[in-house]
Amino acid sequence: MRDFIQPRRNFLKSAGSVATFALLPSAVLLSGCQEDTTKTTPEESGLDDGPFDVELTLFARPDVAAILSGSASEVWRYTAKLIKGPADTLTHSDDSYIGPLIRLRRGQRVRVHIENHLTEATTVHWHGLHVPPEVDGQPRFPIQPDATRTVSFLVDDRAGLYWYHPHPHGDDGGRVGFQSYAGLAGPLIIEDNHERELDLPKDNQELVIVLQDRNFTGENELKYLSDGMGSMMTRMQGFKGDHLLVNGKPAEVKTALATTYRLRILNGSNARIYKLAWSDGRPVTVIGTDGGLLESPEEHAYVALAPAQRIDLWVSFEGDPEGTEIQLINEPHRAGDMMDGGMMGNLMGGSDNTSDKPTPLLTMAVSGATERAVPPLPGRLSSDLDRLSQPGNTANIRQFRLSMKMMRGFAINDRQFEGVTVADDEVVSLGATEVWEFFNDTTMPHPMHVHGLQFRVVSRKNADARSARQLMAGIVDSGLHDTVLVLPGERVRIAMTFKDFEGLYLYHCHNMEHEDNGMMRYYEVRK
């Protein structure tokens, strides 16, 4: 078994047939895409010309990072260098493998040079952003080792938390799960004038939180898949690690003033669904989702956060006595599994928890009052949502059945990933607003992601009773989304408008092992 990183030790320990799969040369893994794109992949795509408000170089490279106490772990990570733009465009996380926080402003023209210093081909997907298809980081445009690709785009999305991660895939399977697990992921924030005027918590009172889970072996070596039969089961169920990490580290205690905080949370895990609550039972106040601020704040007992989803929380510690410790916890739950529970379901990793008790993710220790007056949370956060992606012709619903092909992965309408092949019912019209219905005909939840746009959740019904009891009350359907959780047996309808750009985009399950194993397709926007 070859090393990914020299000279110290094997990287991302795994074994069995899936280990062989995980270590196949990139030329083999991406052969399905490379046949048509290697010679024609453009070196630069996006806006026709400058000037650019922001220009940066993004590096994908091997590195080591201290995650647990003891030996550092070998990882893959993003780093970046700012060429032009505001000083706060990049916030580096030098003590973590998490990629730098990229902070952009609506209306900016952005140019990014992506340098691949890995041992295999990769891409960078700007998750949630409305960008042209050739800029979207799709697998049909692989960046080969030691190559550079430049993309440029206009920032035209609402203020909110987005993210970037790899999206390579070929006829022999996907590499999204592996490369993301290795450490390739980073947060991206878009700001606008309206949000600034709301005076929401900022600076040290704004926490950007990336949730992930990992397994370790030996000298803190990352372990991606189990051995033998467990490898196959993990690929089918989706990877769930036994260590929950916050920004690439174990849970920690943060000192908090008795004031308000904004927690911008990304679920960067491969397959784990989080059930987030406050340890003292206070309401979870939601102010935003994938596509930015809600119309008004919502209070929930807990919130469910599926892979790739983001949630924007507001919390006040004003009035909490000094010395109080309040934890953000992941509550025990079981959101559905391959064999609907029981011994087989447990063996296949059906639970989304590391124990039967709440797991602390973040502890806020209140140390004293703030000198700054605490602004109240506005009762109205935005006024543009009523104009965005309202349902179109609901008499003509485009339906997608999510199913499992035993021992052969997953499918959408009985089709698996076929490269750039698009079926007749996967062609949409530029400018149209459509309603899509995802029907989950499996016993596992599927977070469905549509590239290139944000959508509204129109309705959901008929979820499996057990799954609904576990998570339904915490699912936030308000606002705009690019990823929607579809529970076992459930039918979820979303409304979206296909504007501005023609071409091919992906839609898929964001359980990364599911998309790597067939549950991904292209759709095409045509005039």
pLDDT for the residue numbered 227: 62
Average pLDDT over residues 114-128: 97
Q: What is the DSSP string of 466-506?
A: HHHHHHGGG---SS-BSEEEE-TT-EEEEEEE--S--EEEE
Structure tokens at 403: 């199913």
Q: What angle do CA 452, 384, 315 make, to 5 degrees?
A: 90
Structure tokens at 331: 């509550």
User: Which of 9-18, 270-279, 478-487 shows the lowest per-residue confidence on average (mean pLDDT)?
Assistant: 9-18
The answer, yes or no, to whether residue 85 has pLDDT greater than 60, is yes
pLDDT for the residue numbered 71: 96
Tens of pLDDT, residue by residue over 263-275, are: 999 999 999 999 9
Average pLDDT over residues 212-217: 96
pLDDT for the residue numbered 405: 86
Average pLDDT over residues 507-515: 97
Confidence of residue 353 (pLDDT cuts 50, 70, 90): low
SS3 of residue 511 by DSSP: coil
The answer, yes or no, to whether residue 240 has pLDDT greater than 70, is yes
The answer, yes or no, to whether residue 99 has pLDDT greater than 90, is yes
User: Which of 202-206, 229-233, 280-284, 393-397 shows the lowest per-residue confidence on average (mean pLDDT)?
Assistant: 229-233
Secondary structure in 3-state letters for 304-326:
EECCCCEEEEEEECCCCCCCCEE
For the chain, the first-to-last Cα distance in angstroms comes to 49
Residues 6+ apart with CB under 8 A from 293: 158, 159, 160, 195, 198, 287, 312, 381, 382, 479
Instruction: Return the higher-pLDDT residue of 379 and 20.
Output: 379
Give the separation between CA 198 and CA 201, rounded to whole angstroms.
9
C-alpha closest to that of 163 among 261, 58, 317, 313: 58
**Identical fold, 203-369 and 385-526:** yes
The answer, yes or no, to whether residue 346 has pLDDT greater than 90, is no
pLDDT for the residue numbered 387: 80
300 forms beta bridges with 284
Domain spans in the chain, listed from the N-terminal domain onward: 16-197, 203-369, 385-526
Q: How distant, in Å, are the alpha carbons of 451, 500, 520 from that of 422?
A: 15, 20, 11
Q: How distant, in Å, are the alpha carbons of 4, 141, 179, 251 from that of 23?
A: 8, 21, 12, 31
Tens of pLDDT, residue by residue over 13-59, are: 543 323 322 332 332 222 233 333 343 467 889 998 889 999 999 99
What's the pTM value of the predicted model, to 2 decimals? 0.91
Amino acid type, 69: S
pLDDT for the residue numbered 41: 60
Determine the topology of domain 385-526 in CATH: Immunoglobulin-like (2.60.40)
pLDDT for the residue numbered 229: 56
Give the separation between CA 288 and CA 483, rounded to whole angstroms.
14
Q: What is the DSSP letter of 178?
A: H
pLDDT for the residue numbered 354: 63
Tens of pLDDT, residue by residue over 123-168, are: 999 999 999 999 999 999 999 999 999 999 999 999 999 999 999 9
The answer, yes or no, to whether residue 342 has pLDDT greater than 70, is no
Confidence of residue 340 (pLDDT cuts 50, 70, 90): very low
Confidence of residue 230 (pLDDT cuts 50, 70, 90): low
Tens of pLDDT, residue by residue over 417-441, are: 999 999 999 999 999 999 999 999 9
Query: Positive or negative CA dihedral for 460, 461, 462, 463?
Result: positive
Residues 6+ apart with CB under 8 A from 255: 365, 367
Token pair 């194993």 is found at 517
Mean pLDDT of the chain: 88
- Residues 59 and 82 sit within 8 Å (Cβ to Cβ): no
Amino acid type, 402: L
Q: What is the DSSP letter of 377?
A: P
Structure tokens at 503: 């071409």
13 forms beta bridges with 223
- Residues 268 and 241 sit within 8 Å (Cβ to Cβ): no
Structure tokens at 68: 């647990």
pLDDT for the residue numbered 12: 59
Tens of pLDDT, residue by residue over 304-334, are: 999 999 999 999 999 899 999 999 999 998 8
Residues making up the chain, counted from first to last: 527
Token pair 């600034």 is found at 196
Amino acid type, 11: F
CA dihedral 256, 259, 264, 269 (to 10 degrees): 30
Structure tokens at 408: 């052969």
Q: How distant, in Å, are the alpha carbons of 8, 67, 240 from that of 72?
A: 11, 7, 21
Query: Positive or negative CA dihedral for 336, 342, 345, 348?
Result: positive
Helix, strand and coil percent figures for the chain, each rounded to 5: 15, 40, 45
pLDDT for the residue numbered 225: 79
* Sheet order of strands, 101-105 included: 90-91, 101-105, 186-191, 160-165, 125-127
pLDDT for the residue numbered 49: 86
pLDDT for the residue numbered 390: 77
pLDDT for the residue numbered 33: 33
Share of the chain above pLDDT 70, in %: 85
Determine the topology of domain 16-197 in CATH: Immunoglobulin-like (2.60.40)
217 forms beta bridges with 221
Could you say which architecture CATH assigns to the domain 203-369? Sandwich (2.60)
Tens of pLDDT, residue by residue over 383-416, are: 999 887 777 666 789 999 999 987 778 999 999 9
User: Which of 40-49, 207-216, 332-341 shows the lowest per-residue confidence on average (mean pLDDT)?
Assistant: 332-341
